[in-house]
Structure 1
């Protein structure tokens, strides 16, 4: 009996010990608790580009431009982000504005494969000068005061001192998989470039991101993207009026498109892009008041006169162009830890 009792006790000790050891191992394999959720983040970056093109129209007189932005973000949840931001770009406008300063903010909700971006964007152009010729009345009989320069632009174009305006916008992106995504955008303003003409811009966009294996373990990524958009425009106020349209001109609507290829490495992106529009040189001049616009020196092809551009000078600011852009983008939570 003693032998049987001793054997039972030994088996109990072994069994209990094994269970205790297994319990210890299970506890040791448990994952550590997830890090505390930090809702705050900051994105910032900069770029240098061969030409600053906005919806098919150069903002830098077809010259190089630099840009930078700073964007604080607050993640309410992993699928809902609030943000505000400030950005700046170097420009070359007819009114000699010092720069473009953008102030914007909005909300970015995500529902599965659908990502939305809804907000307000303000475009500020400080330091501008009004060019209208000697102070006097416009074609509608409205007085243009002494704040306008005494001399007009050499090509007789006119431009307001302040071109600042704002847009409300909405974007939607559908991510098909790791390689493909598609989206739509919509922007509206009651007064584009403070011209008095409402503006509505809508576009469709697409992007293909190459698999990470394309360049092996080099860390280089590649994408191809494109956009097709249409800009609708209303009628300007009398400042931009003509003898035929003294109360303002009805700007021409136009299509614009771009396609390009990009290469990424860590926080750097090199984007090579082709951009174009179907806006004529004459209507482009009426819309932009391009200070570099000139008449057509080839008589056989006529001038650039259109119903809203009686001066006959034409602008190359809306033509086909290639753009090379080198940029960097960082977020504090991802890149600065």
Structure 2
């Protein structure tokens, strides 16, 4: 009798388990994916001891401040559209109030390749024309402010009222691994700095980012980066033409602006949204050709004579420089949530 009870109990347990196994299991509903918000805004500011652009100081080797604002629209995770504006304080020969940039473009990504294609406008409001004579070297009448005898630069250099221009550009950055990146950049302007000369700038870049454990758990990051580029320039218009000394050709219709190489290398330290970048920059421009290119209002001397700089004044705006820059960069989606 006991054996029959045990057998019945065992059969009941087995059949119960089988029935339980056959019962449908209630699915656990996964949480809905986070809504994709395609909009974002990047913005930031910086202070630096010198504003260097392609090896040439834009602030007369004095401190400069900058700020930018860039709305972005992410069509997909691999395609971004953007527009932006930025501001930099400068010290130009035409006494422009500031540099105001307006730009926009598209940033597609294909695996390890990140592209950036767009248009960049450089505006320099508030400038004056400095010439000091009613005619330029080609005999063309100048505007009233250029004809004003008080509007001249003491060292003989000249400057247009408006230096504004625009460039089209294409950039690609290749991420090799978590630590290494390399890039290629190309910029073209039909009228660089409103000199009347076309400009083409191409460069290669490299960046090494230190492992995140380099400074332990402090949150401090570090990188080393550099760039080598060449700025090609065409012939200016007659405003910048020069009558040469004996033995030199005349360039009354404009000077062949000096093409040059430029390079920089530096180290940066990051912490949260802050970056401290310490950099060395230089070019191969001579002081005489630098003066002809920049119309540096601080240039002086008579020993730097070149075919496009017959007066011999020399400028240090294109020489070796050290730059310390402290910046803060934020995005609304990351930093303001």
Same-fold call, TM > 0.5? yes
Alignment-derived partner of residue 316 in structure 1: 316
Alignment-derived partner of residue 76 in structure 2: 77
Distance 1:161 1:78 in 2: 44
Task: Extract unaligned runs of 5+ from structure 1.
Answer: 297-302
Deviations 1:97-127 (A, max 9, x none): 0000000000000000000000000000000
Distance 1:322 1:242 in 2: 33
Alignment-derived partner of residue 61 in structure 1: 60
- Any conservation in 2 of the 1:275–1:320 contact (CA below 8 Å)? yes
The TM-score, its normalising length taken from structure 1, stands at 0.93
Distance 1:43 1:20 in 2: 54
Alignment-derived partner of residue 195 in structure 1: 195
Alignment-derived partner of residue 267 in structure 1: 273
The CA deviation at 1:132 is: 0.5
Aligned length: 326
The CA deviation at 1:225 is: 0.2
Counterpart check, 1:255 vs 2:253: no
Alignment-derived partner of residue 304 in structure 1: 304
Distance 1:56 1:97 in 2: 20
The CA deviation at 1:14 is: 3.4
Residue 37 and residue 240 in structure 1: after superposition, are their counterparts in 2 closer, same or farther (change >3 A)? same
Alignment-derived partner of residue 119 in structure 1: 118
The CA deviation at 1:140 is: 1.1
The CA deviation at 1:7 is: 4.7
- Any conservation in 2 of the 1:131–1:150 contact (CA below 8 Å)? no
Distance 2:118 2:23 in 1: 58
Counterpart check, 1:46 vs 2:45: yes
Distance 2:314 2:183 in 1: 34
- Any conservation in 2 of the 1:197–1:236 contact (CA below 8 Å)? yes
SS at match of 1:156: coil
The CA deviation at 1:6 is: 6.2
Q: CA RMSD in A?
A: 1.8
Alignment-derived partner of residue 135 in structure 2: 137
Task: Extract unaligned runs of 5+ from structure 2.
Answer: 244-249
Distance 2:217 2:191 in 1: 50
The TM-score, its normalising length taken from structure 2, stands at 0.93
Alignment-derived partner of residue 98 in structure 2: 99
The CA deviation at 1:18 is: 6.1
SS at match of 1:182: strand
